[in-house]
Amino acid sequence: TQLLEQSPQFLSIQEGENLTVYCNSSSVFSSLQWYRQEPGEGPVLLVTVVTGGEVKKLKRLTFQFGDARKDSSLHITAAQPGDTGLYLCAGAAGANNLFFGTGTRLTVIP
Amino acid sequence: DTGVSQNPRHKITKRGQNVTFRCDPISEHNRLYWYRQTLGQGPEFLTYFQNEAQLEKSRLLSDRFSAERPKGSFSTLEIQRTEQGDSAMYLCASSSSRWPLYNEQFFGPGTRLTVL
């Protein structure tokens, strides 16, 4: 079983601050996805990274895939209350299912 | 709305009863996945279909669980003789089967099961 560890588990920050969430594993993944989940809803796909060292930007969110394709980070610039949610990373080791981390619960205080 | 849909959104049942959930994937997706998510955890894989074929089942999928996708479109997940430990959010996702799109799984809103 591929284990994905996310840190921190909980993060509470003021609006306008920057933050970074980490996703680490000892396994190599063919791709890695980041999702955001609201309470009572399913995860919503934010981004997919495939190539080691790849960086993708989505407005104020920057995603990076580690060179060895074992880890990833999500950086949010100038966080807003609408960024509040559970951020999940998910790794794909092959052609089938995704392995999810336990998530980082972010609260942005206005 | 062309996203993944799941019904019902909530189900409360008594221990020992059978329940069935339905998932309608994105129409052009031929892969369909079932996951289970408990409080404070990320989703855990249960099983997946490519078209009507069930290609993989997790060890989490006990013999009380059965999933079908008879015509390669919608899928059902049945739990027989429910136990309190089955209480969870059951999530369905769909994707294309082409690289790298098959790892971009799109999730439905989930069915929240509570077993009393």
One pLDDT digit (tens) per residue for chain A, 110 residues: 568 999 999 999 999 999 999 999 998 998 999 999 999 899 999 999 999 999 999 999 999 999 999 999 999 999 999 999 999 999 987 667 789 998 999 999 99
pLDDT of residue A84: 96
pLDDT at B86 over 80: yes
For residue B106, the chain A residues in CB contact (below 8 A) are 45
Question: What distance in Å separates the CA atoms of residue A26 and residue B95, rounded to the nearest whole number?
Answer: 26
Please enumerate, as own/partner, the contacts of A65-73 that have beta carbons within 8 Å and a separation of 24 or more: A65/A32, A68/A28, A69/A28, A69/A29, A69/A30, A69/A32, A70/A24, A70/A25, A70/A26, A70/A27, A70/A28, A70/A29, A71/A22, A71/A23, A71/A24, A71/A25, A72/A22, A72/A23, A72/A32, A72/A34, A73/A20, A73/A21, A73/A22, A73/A23
B39-67: average pLDDT: 92
For chain B, the residues whose C-beta falls within 8 A of a C-beta of chain A are 4, 6, 33, 40-45, 48, 55-56, 58, 91, 93, 99-100, 102-110, 112
What values do phi and psi take at A82, rounded to 5? Answer: -65, -10
Q: Which of B41, B99, B105 sits opposite A98 (nearest CB)?
A: B105
CA-to-CA dists, residue B3 to A42, B51, B93, B108, B113, angstroms: 11, 18, 10, 7, 21
Residue of B60, B40, B113 lying closest to A39 (CA atoms):
B40
- Nearest-CA residue of chain B relative to A51? B100
pLDDT of residue B99: 76
- Residue owning tokens 């019904």: B7
- Across-strand partners of A12? A107
pLDDT at B26 over 90: yes
pLDDT at B1 over 70: no
CB under 8 Å to B4, separation ≥6 — which residues?
A42, B23, B24, B25, B26, B92, B93, B94, B106, B107, B108, B109
pLDDT at B82 over 80: yes
pLDDT of residue A21: 98
Residue B30 carries which DSSP code?
-
pLDDT of residue B61: 86
- Across-strand partners of A106? A11, A85
pLDDT of residue A6: 96
Cβ–Cβ below 8 Å for A100 and B48: no
CA distance, residue A14 to nearest chain B CA (Å): 23
B27-39: average pLDDT: 94
Across all residues in chain B, what is the average pLDDT?
93
Cβ–Cβ below 8 Å for A42 and B100: no
CA A56 from centre of chain: 12
Structure tokens at B49: 């279909």
Question: What distance in Å separates the CA atoms of residue A33 and residue A47, rounded to the nearest whole number?
Answer: 6
